[in-house]
Amino acid sequence: MHDASEPDALDLPGHTGVPADSASTLFSASEDPVKQAAIDRSIAAHHTLAALPDVRFATDNTIVTVLHPGFELLDVVGPFHFLAGTGATVHLATTGDTLAPVPSGSGASLIPTLTLAEVPTPVTVLLVPGGDTGVLLRDTQALADLRRLSDDAEYVTSVCSGSIALAAAGLLDGRRATSHWSVRHLLPGYGATEVNERVVEDGNRLTAAGVTAGMDLAIRLVSYLCGDTLARFAVLGAEYAPEPPFTTGMPEQAGTALTELSRDFLAPLEEELRAQPAR
């Protein structure tokens, strides 16, 4: 029997599958007693999860992910999946002047929630994705906004070549950092220290390696904001247990021939992101 005191739709923070403000009808009250019993079980499980001693929700926090033309889609969507379950306000901030959809490098577009220039401070997490990072390096206003937001951000983070943008903005000076393997060696040209690790943490600067490493970064952030139990719960909900059919995800695994082919494929990006000598 449905308890009328319970909400008609799941509205607790931290739901790891469907955000409370999504268009999903999974948790809408039902006349079907079997479905309603399942909804009641889910609501009870959410209350149980929320009551665990080390679980907390980041409901007073703000997470901002930067959207620039040509961003890498998984750099944004992968972390978003995990961070949206924290209860924080999650913004997609466009470097443009309007809220027009921003095209990713793969063609799919995302709709921003506000412009980067109008993001209020302080923010809890600032996340810069990779992709066509040269767009950011040429956007002096965007770099200025990254510096402004980083001043009192709790965590300043990046995925893939997004760390090059952070470094170019002067936000990784003297700090250890990583990036996609094809451009990681460019970090010292911007004053950072190159580290070959999947996620590198130096103070409140967290940088992730290429593309899929953004999910590892986000899981770490969930543990910081909400505790290890919720992070582990989110990993289970996402069935995040990678077993790629080909273990060629790093140059050390891929071998020389495939790595050199990939490096040549990415040569324009590497050249575009190389720090220019002072004139």
Tell me what pLDDT residue 90 has. 96
Distance CA 197, CA 217 (A): 12
pLDDT at 27: 73
Given this model, what pLDDT does residue 32 score?
86
* 226 counts as catalytic: no
Active-site choice (73, 160, 209, 225): 160
Residue spans per domain, the chain: 1-51, 62-235
- Print the SS3 string covering the chain: CCCCCCCCCCCCCCCCCCCCCCCCCCCCCCCCHHHHHHHHHHHHHHHHHHHCCCCCCCCCCEEEEEECCCECHHHHHHHHHHHHHHCCEEEEEECCCCCCCEEECCCCEECCCEEHHHCCCCCCEEEECCECCHHHHCCHHHHHHHHHHHCCCCEEEEECCHHHHHHHCCCCCCCEECCCCCCHHHHHHHCCEECCCCEEEECCEEEECCCCHHHHHHHHHHHHHHCHHHHHHHHHHCCCCCCCCCCCCCHHHHCHHHHHHHHHHCHHHHHHHCCCCCC
Fold of 62-235: Rossmann fold (3.40.50)
Task: Look at residue 59 in the predicted model and tell me its pLDDT.
Answer: 93
Sort 49 into a burial class: Cβ within 10 Å, 0-12 / 13-18 / 19+.
middle
Question: What are the backbone dihedrals phi and psi of residue 93, each rounded to the nearest 5 degrees, phi first?
Answer: -105, 115
- pLDDT under 70: residue ranges of the chain: 1-24, 277-279
pLDDT of residue 24: 65
**117-175 pLDDT tens trace:** 999 999 999 999 999 999 999 999 999 999 999 999 999 999 999 999 999 999 999 99
From the number of C-beta atoms within 10 Å of its C-beta (0-12, 13-18, 19+), residue 246 rates as exposed
Q: What is the pTM of this model?
A: 0.90
pLDDT for res 9: 42
207, 217, 202, 204: which is closest to 183 by C-alpha?
207
The predicted pLDDT at position 213 comes to: 98
d(CA 205, CA 155) in angstroms, rounded, equals 6
Is the bond leading into 122 cis (omega within 30 degrees of zero)?
A: yes
- Would you state the structure tokens that stand for residue 278, as one six-digit string? 């002072």
At residue 18, the pLDDT reads 45
